Structure 1
């Protein structure tokens, strides 16, 4: 029988203290923690009556989804699978900035934990530095009608032999000050609340994103939705969230969607 306490180094999240810390004025409207689910994003999207500011967290997510239909999973309680539901009042044309807002909030939280975090366009959070650099988090935004769900999966205590790919890492491997998932979740949700509120108020969000971008200034290969690839220098992320890549001939292309590989920094 699988018990939540079968791995003493990976205790379950403590829902009541989390609710006391994160719900209420200036915070989130609802917070639920489930032991296991296929996808927190899918579960929240299925709740048509969920209020703005609802949060769903899973101790274990066994069918997590990323961009381009990719799936991933991790050992129970080794990371955070967290989704929030918003009913934005800003025009739908502004919603593509929300994944960038979310990534910036993840960086805010992780920097407070003592690691060097930066963003790879459009949705990956990377850890830098001497202690196991790599991808620590992916962000996925999904829209249904007047609702948008922002999902993030953060690797917290995964060991080297548990990583899904060689380019991944975790907070433990990168030497973070804390691997307590309650602490990481609180820092992330508070940072996200601040960033989302600023976006909702019409404040510019791209300056903060650009400041922590690992893509701007890098030579990249962008795999485009039509199957072609573009190599060049990533020169900017524009105010609508599009990546600007300059090829060897000096031509600049604005990309709304692509799978980007970093080749080297300029």
Structure 2
């Protein structure tokens, strides 16, 4: 399986020379900003309760100081947040936790695509190192571990089937910007993962890991996917559908303030919504909710 390459651009294979949980520092990440880099600004912290929370607070104080594709990365995130207030915890040095300021040049009604833009960037970054990742709508990057000996807990898990989560995304709007956070499980062992439906890059076979190079590759890919979505949103949605494992499957959607919805996930709308067709034949556009996989159709 491929490993990381410091010269990797968007979509390029990644190669590295040493496995490491080495600390992320301003010095070690200095090359990630500048004329030919994806990031105009990168703030590095040793520890952060939540990179999203910290970046939202910084935007509130000085919004103009954070241009499009600025980022805040924590060497260790101590109280990460997921969707619906879920906690996301990782051992020190074992994960990549970063939040970006995105200022999408998309109509506001299409901002629902932004988490999927981040998801597609993560999927492509994983695939560049040989991990056959896919997107579980709307905000999970997953790997099918049905045939893996090291991918995690074997067998189907309720709501996940044989899919195991390798990265999670949380997007929050602040005025004219979106704070897009992503956490990638990099080197965790089975014992270090808090839930049975999770896995890590190491557990699915990537042995030589470098979080600095992963951050560079992910950032370059994210910049490319944002440009793609802005240039041709319809083509972007079509590509997105090709890597979304939710489509074509029976799903149960748990919605806040509404009854659960069951049906077949049929497609992704222009606004990023998930189209679910019920047993009665009704097509329902889901814009938010927890989607549980119930098996292939």
TM-score computed with the length of structure 1 as normaliser? 0.91
Give the match's secondary structure for 1:113.
Answer: coil
What RMSD in Å do the two structures reach over aligned CA positions?
Answer: 1.8
User: Does residue 100 of structure 1 match 2:120?
Assistant: no
Judge which range, 96-105 or 130-139, deviates more.
130-139
Q: 2-side partners of 1:13 and 1:28: how far apart?
A: 16
Counterpart of 2:73 in structure 1 is: 57
Judge which range, 62-71 or 100-109, deviates more.
62-71
User: Does residue 210 of structure 1 match 2:241?
Assistant: yes
Q: 1-side partners of 2:37 and 2:47: how far apart?
A: 28
Counterpart of 2:204 in structure 1 is: 174
2:261 to 211, 218, 230: 230
Asked whether the 8 Å contact 2:32–2:39 carries over to 1, the reply is: no
1:66 to 68, 82, 100: 82
Asked whether the 8 Å contact 2:143–2:165 carries over to 1, the reply is: yes
* 1:13-162 superposed matches below 5 A: 13-25=24-36, 27-47=38-58, 48=63, 49-129=65-145, 130-131=147-148, 132=151, 134-162=164-192
Measured after TM superposition, the shift of residue 17 of structure 1 is 4.8
Counterpart of 2:155 in structure 1 is: none
Give the match's secondary structure for 1:205.
Answer: helix
Judge which range, 107-116 or 198-207, deviates more.
198-207
Structure 2: gaps (5+ residues): 1-18, 152-162
Q: 2-side partners of 1:245 and 1:175: how far apart?
A: 34
Deviations 1:68-109 (A, max 9, x none): 111111111100101110233333222111100000000010
Counterpart of 1:11 in structure 2 is: 22
Counterpart of 2:156 in structure 1 is: none
* 1:182-221 superposed matches below 5 A: 182-203=212-233, 204-221=235-252
Q: 2-side partners of 1:251 and 1:23: how far apart?
A: 51
Deviations 1:202-232 (A, max 9, x none): 4432112101000000111111112521111
Q: 2-side partners of 1:98 and 1:188: how far apart?
A: 15
Deviations 1:138-181 (A, max 9, x none): 11111111121111000001110111100000000011253221
Asked whether the 8 Å contact 2:112–2:273 carries over to 1, the reply is: no
TM-score computed with the length of structure 2 as normaliser? 0.82
User: Would you say how many aligned residue pairs link Structure 1 and Structure 2?
Assistant: 259
User: Does residue 261 of structure 1 match 2:289?
Assistant: no
Q: 2-side partners of 1:200 and 1:180: how far apart?
A: 30
